[in-house]
Each structure stands twice: as C-alpha cells, then as structure tokens.
Amino acid sequence: MKFWIPACLLLAAAAAAALLVKNEYFFFAGYTVLMFVVLATAWNILGGYAGYVNFGTPAFFGLGAYTAAVLFKAFALPLVLQILAAAVMSGLLGLVAGMLTLRLRGIFFAIATIALVVIMETLFINWRYAGGATGLQLLRPPPTAPFESYIKMLFVLMGAMAVGAVALARWVERSWIGRGLHAIRDSEEAAECSGVPTLRLKVFACVLSGALMGAAGAPMPMYLSFIEPASTFNLNYAIGALASPMIGGTTHYLGPVIGALLLSSLQQLVTVTVSSEMNVLIVGVLLVVFVVLAPEGIVGLWRKWTRRSST
C-alpha cells in the first residue's frame, strides 16, 4: 500500500496532465525521461542486485523496438500487443545471452553484452524488410479515445510501464529472489555453497531485465514514426541505463528511479539549452563523482543523513 497509493496517484496526475495541458513538448520530453526510468529499473535488476554489469541495453531495447515495428508493418498489431511481443523477444535474447555467459565472471558478461549490441545492429542493418540501414517510415494510427494526441497517449502509457517496472523490481528485491541475487553480489562462491541456485537466479534476472528493456523500446517506433538501426542501437541508452542506478543508488528500487528522473531531466534541459556534447560530459562526470565519492548513490546519502540526524 505504501507503494501502490503514491504510484497510482502519480499515474492519475500524469493522465490528468495529458488531458489538460496543451504544450506538446512537455510530453515529448517526459516520455524520454519515463523511458529511462524503465530502462534504469530494468538494468538495476541484474546490474544492481546481482552485480553483473550490462552494456547491452541498446540490444534489448532495439530488439524490442524492431519487434514492434515489424509486427506493425506486417499485421498492424495494436500497440499493447506490440509491447508484449517485444518483451517476449527481448526476454528470449536475455535467456540465450545469459545461458551463454552468466556462468563466467561479471566482466565477461559485460563484454559479451557489448558484442550483442553490434550483432543485433548488424542483423537489422541487413534485414531489408525492416528497412535496412536507411530505416523504416511508419504511419501512426489515430490516438485512442480520451487522448487528443498520440504523444500524450504514449506518455501515459510509458508512465504506466514505469510504475509496472518499479513494482516488479520492488517485488524481486523483497522476495527470496532478491535475497539470492544480493548474496551473489556479495560473494558468488559463498552463495553457491549455501545452496543458492546462482545460475538460475542470474538467468532469471537477465530475462526479466531484458524483457523490461524490450518493452521500453516497443513504443519508440511509434514515438518517432520512424526506426533506423544506428540511433536505435545507440550506446547512449546503455550509458543512461547504467549511470542512473549508479547515481541514484543500486540497493533500493527507488535508486534507479531517482537517478533516471534527475539525470534524464538534466539531460533534456542541457540538450535544449547548451549542447548535446555537454550532456554526455555531465553524465560522465556525475558517474565518476558518484562512483568514487558516494558509492551508495543518492539513496545511500539520504540514509546516512537520516541516520545521523536521528541519533
């Protein structure tokens, strides 16, 4: 209840804003911020809880986006089904990649995920039906009833997905799965010896994380009315998904949310007011500063501060 009431209130506020506020840009930017909330939360399930760094966010995200685009082109499938299909496809990718590399040390998994991005990008560059290197133009269907524009509808949809992703992460964190993943992060050998099914838990986390990333990517073709390999499999998604939990804090489900809200809003602001190079610099500097000075992120700082003031 402590989680669901504020979450539903926030979602209702987002829907009300979508119906009342006229400025389209707000929703255009807000969609991206919410998308990074989903990506960061998804990343944290494997990266934060289990300590396996994933650079492959663009691979899962892009596979989801392309699954949605191809299904739309072939069968004009409704958006919700596109998202489900995208989640399934990216989850399968997570299963294969996880089975192959999660038996190895974390750094090998990280390298393998970089490889995954390049392989996925190459596949889609060479797939003519999906537009190849030049990309695919898509015609948006009209928005569904209460919404007057498609972007606003996507904004509310992404908000719902963000709430869903955070709820899933919260569930994982508090169940025996989360405790198992935590044990893996602290010491994999010790966890294995105490009877934690390490490989199965890691693969499960990888599948769930991948599926959420795929779902986050699914509305992207509709958002842009266009899809193209180079920008879909861009490393910037990996940067955002990795940096947000690191800045917010990896041990609590709110960490990635706080990190993503701060970082993406700042990025949106800087891209508009200064330049897009500056926004990459900000991410880099914040990442290094937090990793070095505040390893527990903002959540950790907050905990330290409340503990000090209470004693």
Contacts with other proteins, residue ranges (CB under 8 A): 47-48, 51-53, 55, 100-101, 103-104, 106-108, 110-112, 114-116, 118-119, 122-123, 125-126, 133, 185-186, 235, 239, 242-243, 246, 250, 277-278, 280-281, 283-288, 291-292, 295
- Cα–Cα distance for residue pair 299/180, rounded to 1 Å: 21
Within 10 angstroms of residue 257's Cβ, the number of other Cβ atoms is 25
Cα dist. 127→17, 43, 66, 70, 122 in Å?
40, 28, 11, 11, 9
Angle at the Cα of 41 from the Cα atoms of 36 and 47, rounded to 5 degrees: 115
Residue number, 19 or 274, with CB nearest to other proteins? 274
Shortest reach from residue 65's CB to other proteins, in Å: 19
Residue number, 82 or 268, with CB nearest to other proteins? 268
Shortest reach from residue 290's CB to other proteins, in Å: 9
- Structure letter (DSSP) for residue 128: G
Q: With CA atoms as reference, report the closest residue to 212 among 41, 56, 69, 78.
A: 41
- Structure letter (DSSP) for residue 143: P
The three-state (H, E, C) secondary structure of 154-210, written as one string:
HHHHHHHHHHHHHHHHHHHHHCHHHHHHHHHHHCHHHHHHCCCCHHHHHHHHHHHHH
Shortest reach from residue 42's CB to other proteins, in Å: 16
Residue number, 60 or 150, with CB nearest to other proteins? 60
Shortest reach from residue 69's CB to other proteins, in Å: 19
Shortest reach from residue 278's CB to other proteins, in Å: 8
Q: Is 146 helix (H, G, I), strand (E, B) or coil?
A: coil
Shortest reach from residue 112's CB to other proteins, in Å: 5
Residue number, 11 or 294, with CB nearest to other proteins? 294
Q: With CA atoms as reference, report the closest residue to 251 among 43, 48, 50.
A: 48
Tell me the torsion sign for CA atoms 220, 280, 18, 20.
negative
Residue number, 32 or 279, with CB nearest to other proteins? 279
Please give the structure tokens belonging to residue 239: 């940067």
Q: Is 261 helix (H, G, I), strand (E, B) or coil?
A: helix
Residue number, 51 or 164, with CB nearest to other proteins? 51
Residue number, 152 or 185, with CB nearest to other proteins? 185
- Cα–Cα distance for residue pair 304/311, rounded to 1 Å: 11
Residues 249 and 258: beta-carbon distance below 8 Å: yes
Residue number, 149 or 231, with CB nearest to other proteins? 231
Shortest reach from residue 280's CB to other proteins, in Å: 5
Shortest reach from residue 107's CB to other proteins, in Å: 5
